[in-house]
């Protein structure tokens, strides 16, 4: 006997009349009819012009793009879904250790009590947290609590810094570099269009970073000037670290050229080699030219919790003598409402002795991973950079190999996700970045698979 | 016997040679010497020009300014510190209720386990949360999960929306309005300078909101056009709510003029009067012209937790036919890293039946406060707006009274903090905003004190 439901179903299939599977047909029909109500008027376009700066951006933001390519590969090869190992986006994977976790739980729990409840805090963060950051992380008496701005992370702070500098500055970046510096410069209207030949945007100063200069640019020697210089050390993606002499020369050059240095120290605690500066404020004169951006994401496991900070010294001034700190404060109060009070309580726990010990153990773990990756790839005959004082390995590909091709090749042959160097700017072509933030067993498995399938040795 | 420490102390006091207390002298000396190292080079100014748009901003952001005036009053009158009652900034004061709290605690606790740990999520929020928002808050089949962007709050989203629209649009605001719409327009370079005579920025369309138009502007009747229209309902600061007819007319006008409506519905659940729309997407045609901004801050007690969302329909297009949603997604992925995963777990709890019940009780409480304030001020002979479907009371001051003067007068005479209407734009002059978010006992005490000291009745 044919049920009423079956008749309706057949009717639906008939009316839809396309070649999808039965299930898909029904779903499609449902979406079509569901959308009918809402989409029936979609021929309207507003008269609002698209922000021209956005049309200059090339493709999507790098990391979601990697995700899209992984997903495309998986839908074409659903059977090997479980084999995928990600050494791609630098996302932490170890649970948050007990003491720091207790800070987060305390932060949440106290919101249920009359005494512990807090609403809007200072937009720049709790005073006690800012004081701990100022006193525990920087050289003695170097940074004051009112120069510290607690935030929801370094990436967000870079956008707010760009917001403050506005459209009329010229930025300089390391090439390759973390894509946010370039993309936000474009979005703010500081640049011209992308030159398809060079892969560079007009009006950004690209400072080449190669093995020859230890991936650190010699800004002093360049005959060009930029207003804002973005430097990241330990570097994402190259894993290189800037020495005291690198940074002294840079500060000197910034002073001479009247530039402002935005120093991204998000990976600073990964530095274990003695004598390497962990903060730009260890360098003489930095207070006059530098801003430092930081984050707990990578070493306290806070990639999802969201907590970071930016330091802007009171002695950093625009050309008219006004304080950079005051304008950044205006951005923070007008366009931000503070990091989550729960995350901030977690930050307080990070800065205790117990918290620091736990962070140190997390870093040990990820640096061990980095070391495994480094040695495996070296064993295979690759030239490898980074991985010593940084959680990233920067792998030199054989001459003539495009980094997106290598990305695809590795994904297809050993199901390991990496990041093509070209995603970090034209200077990254010919390299791959491997992240050490995966679980140990994944790193070991990835190493074994690569040993089986890849070798540039004769 | 005089100890070595005492000698040093006396020497320090002698060298400092000012008239502060002993303790202050030592602290001052410490700061001076501590600062010496870092500030000795502060004569340097960079060659980076201050962002001209920031120089157009008048004074500080409103709410920190209120805090500064309160602190100044307290330092002049330290003895009455305990008497201060804040009906100023709309900051929630009730603890987070148990079920929603359990969501936050769960969100924190799971980060300590291998299975429960999460790092970077989708920058636009967890899919299940976006699906719950789409399905539970909006009319059936009206909004799809991929049109929902979960964020750290409405204020932050407004900045990101401005970032997307860029410098070349003209904005329209209700006058008075939440100051963030104007301030971020100025910061993005959409405006000219402040006209000190009118109190208005050039190139912003100020739409007068007065008792005569029920505080809702008639955009259709205006012979001017703006690209972006910011409307808030229930309104901050007036407490007025837009009716179905108001919003239908507005959508029609936006469609005819090719404008985009940014609808701030952060207070929507406070609407209790039947027939008043709680979302712009209850209005026909809204999907073609409107964006809606929302927040859990005010009714789930999340002012400090930080969680909100923005809906951008796929049918909303720029004049070139490109999707507004795609550009907003670019801002979210490039310049934001997602709301805290702990806060998002709290958002999941908010959208359960238990969570909704708790939210309803919180709203009951604050609306009862609003009612108390409204009736008290009416009893005293004031004309009062709002306070029925909104947590704000908008109080008409006697003719000729400046709102900053009234703010100061009330602070001095009854130690109650309010917000001067002029802080919300020139159209707010002659009004005061009172917030209902204080604890009940504070609201009652404020009402009693005002009954004693203030009356406009003969």
Per-residue pLDDT of chain A (458 residues; tens, 9 = 90+): 445 554 444 443 344 333 333 333 333 333 333 343 444 446 899 999 999 999 999 877 788 888 888 899 999 999 988 999 999 988 999 999 999 999 999 999 999 999 999 999 899 999 999 999 999 999 999 999 999 999 999 999 999 999 999 999 999 999 999 999 999 999 999 999 999 999 999 999 999 999 999 999 999 999 999 999 999 999 999 999 999 999 999 999 999 999 999 999 999 999 999 999 999 999 999 999 999 999 999 999 999 999 999 999 999 999 999 999 999 999 999 999 999 999 999 999 999 999 999 999 999 999 999 999 999 999 999 999 999 999 999 999 999 999 999 999 999 999 999 999 999 999 999 999 999 999 999 999 999 999 999 876 64
Q: Do residues B422 and B409 lie in contact, with contact meaning Cβ atoms separated by under 8 Å?
A: no
pLDDT at A3: 52
Alpha-carbon A341 to chain mean position: 23
Taking the C-alpha atoms of residue A336 and residue A308, their distance in angstroms, rounded to an integer, is 14
Taking the C-alpha atoms of residue B371 and residue B140, their distance in angstroms, rounded to an integer, is 33
Q: What sign does the CA torsion over A176, A67, A156, A368 have?
A: negative
A54-94+355-453 CATH fold: 3.90.1150
B residues 141-160 lying closer than 8 A (beta carbon) to A: 141-143, 152-153, 155-156, 158-159
Taking the C-alpha atoms of residue B257 and residue B219, their distance in angstroms, rounded to an integer, is 10
User: Residue B338: closest CA among chain A residues belongs to which residue?
Assistant: A304
Phi, psi of B231 (to 5 degrees): -130, 135
Taking the C-alpha atoms of residue B3 and residue B145, their distance in angstroms, rounded to an integer, is 73
Taking the C-alpha atoms of residue A20 and residue A18, their distance in angstroms, rounded to an integer, is 6
pLDDT (tens digit per residue) in B366-410: 999 999 999 999 999 999 999 999 999 999 999 999 999 999 999
| CA–CA distances in Å: residue B23 to residues B9, B12, B36, B79, B100 | 10, 11, 20, 22, 47
A320 touches chain B (CB under 8 A): yes
Phi, psi of A91 (to 5 degrees): -100, 125
Residues of B in contact with A54 (CB under 8 A): 164, 166, 327, 330
Joined tokens for residue B58: 């008048």
Taking the C-alpha atoms of residue B207 and residue B253, their distance in angstroms, rounded to an integer, is 14
Residues of A in contact with B319 (CB under 8 A): 45-50
B167 touches chain A (CB under 8 A): yes
Taking the C-alpha atoms of residue B195 and residue B200, their distance in angstroms, rounded to an integer, is 5
A104 touches chain B (CB under 8 A): yes
- Of chain A, the end-to-end C-alpha distance in Å amounts to 71
CATH class of A98-352: alpha beta
B residues 70-89 lying closer than 8 A (beta carbon) to A: 89
B residues 218-257 lying closer than 8 A (beta carbon) to A: 227-228, 254-255, 257
Confidence of residue B18 (pLDDT cuts 50, 70, 90): very low
Domain ranges of chain A: 54-94+355-453, 98-352
Partners of B435 in beta bridges: B392
B20 touches chain A (CB under 8 A): no
Secondary structure of residue A162 in the 3-state scheme: helix
- Residue A207, number of CB atoms within 10 A of its CB: 22
A-B interface: how many C-beta pairs under 8 angstroms? 352
Q: What is the ipTM of this complex?
A: 0.90
3-state DSSP: chain B helix, strand, coil percent, rounded to 5?
A: 50, 15, 40
Nearest of B360, B363, B357, B368 to residue B440 by alpha carbon? B368
- Give B332: exposed, middle or buried? Use CB within 10 Å, 0-12, 13-18, 19+: buried
| CA–CA distances in Å: residue A146 to residues A129, A316, B254 | 11, 13, 44
- Of the listed ranges A263-272, B8-17, B131-140, the least confidently predicted one is B8-17
CATH number belonging to domain B53-94+355-453: 3.90.1150.10
User: Residue A336: closest CA among chain B residues belongs to which residue?
Assistant: B156
A317 touches chain B (CB under 8 A): yes
- Residue B452, number of CB atoms within 10 A of its CB: 10
Taking the C-alpha atoms of residue B447 and residue B374, their distance in angstroms, rounded to an integer, is 10
Q: Which of B50, B100, B391, B437 is the best substitution to test chain A (most A C-beta atoms within 10 A)?
A: B50
- Of chain B, the end-to-end C-alpha distance in Å amounts to 73
Residues in chain A: 458
Nearest of B386, B425, B419 to residue B403 by alpha carbon? B419
Residues in chain B: 458
């Amino acid at each position: 006997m044919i049920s009423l439901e079956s008749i309706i179903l057949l009717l639906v299939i008939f009316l839809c009349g396309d070649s999808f599977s039965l299930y898909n047909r029904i779903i499609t029909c449902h979406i079509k009819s569901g959308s009918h109500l809402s989409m029936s008027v979609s021929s309207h376009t507003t008269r609002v012009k698209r922000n021209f700066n956005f049309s200059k951006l090339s493709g999507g933001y790098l990391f979601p793009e990697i995700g899209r390519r992984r997903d495309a590969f998986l839908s074409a090869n659903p059977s090997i879904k479980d084999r995928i190992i990600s050494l791609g986006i630098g996302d932490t994977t170890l649970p948050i250790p007990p003491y720091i976790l207790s800070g987060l739980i305390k932060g949440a729990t106290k919101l249920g009590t009359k005494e512990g409840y807090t609403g809007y805090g200072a937009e720049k963060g709790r005073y006690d947290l800012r004081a701990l950051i100022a006193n525990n992380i920087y050289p003695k008496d170097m940074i004051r609590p009112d120069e510290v701005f607690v935030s929801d992370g370094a990436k967000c702070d870079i956008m707010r810094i760009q917001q403050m500098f506005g459209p009329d500055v010229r930025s300089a970046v390391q090439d390759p570099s973390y894509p946010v510096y370039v993309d936000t410069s474009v979005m703010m209207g500081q640049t011209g269009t992308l030159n398809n030949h060079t892969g560079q945007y007009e009006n950004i100063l690209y400072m080449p970073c190669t093995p020859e200069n230890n991936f650190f640019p010699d800004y002093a020697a360049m005959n060009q000037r930029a207003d804002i210089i973005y430097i990241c050390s330990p570097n994402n993606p190259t894993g290189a670290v800037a020495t005291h002499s690198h940074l002294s020369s840079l500060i000197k050059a910034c002073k001479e050229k009247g530039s402002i240095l935005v120093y991204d120290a998000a990976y600073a605690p990964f530095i274990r080699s003695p004598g390497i500066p962990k903060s730009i404020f260890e360098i003489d004169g930095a207070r006059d030219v530098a801003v430092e951006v930081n984050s707990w994401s990578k070493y306290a496991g806070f990639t999802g919790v969201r907590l970071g900070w930016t330091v802007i010294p009171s002695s950093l001034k625009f050309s008219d003598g006004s304080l950079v700190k005051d304008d950044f404060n205006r951005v923070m109060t007008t366009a931000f409402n503070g990091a989550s009070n729960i995350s901030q309580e977690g930050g307080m726990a990070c800065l205790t002795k117990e918290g620091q010990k736990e962070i140190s153990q997390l870093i040990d773990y990820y640096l061990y991973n980095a070391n495994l990756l480094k040695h495996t790839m070296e064993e295979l005959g690759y030239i490898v950079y980074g991985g010593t004082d940084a959680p990233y390995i920067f792998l030199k590909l054989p001459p003539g190999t495009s980094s997106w091709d290598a990305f695809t090749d590795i994904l297809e042959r050993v199901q390991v996700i990496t990041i093509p160097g070209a995603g970090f700017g034209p200077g990254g072509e010919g390299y791959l970045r491997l992240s050490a933030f995966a679980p140990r067993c994944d790193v070991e498995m990835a190493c074994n698979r690569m040993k089986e399938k890849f070798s540039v040795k004769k």
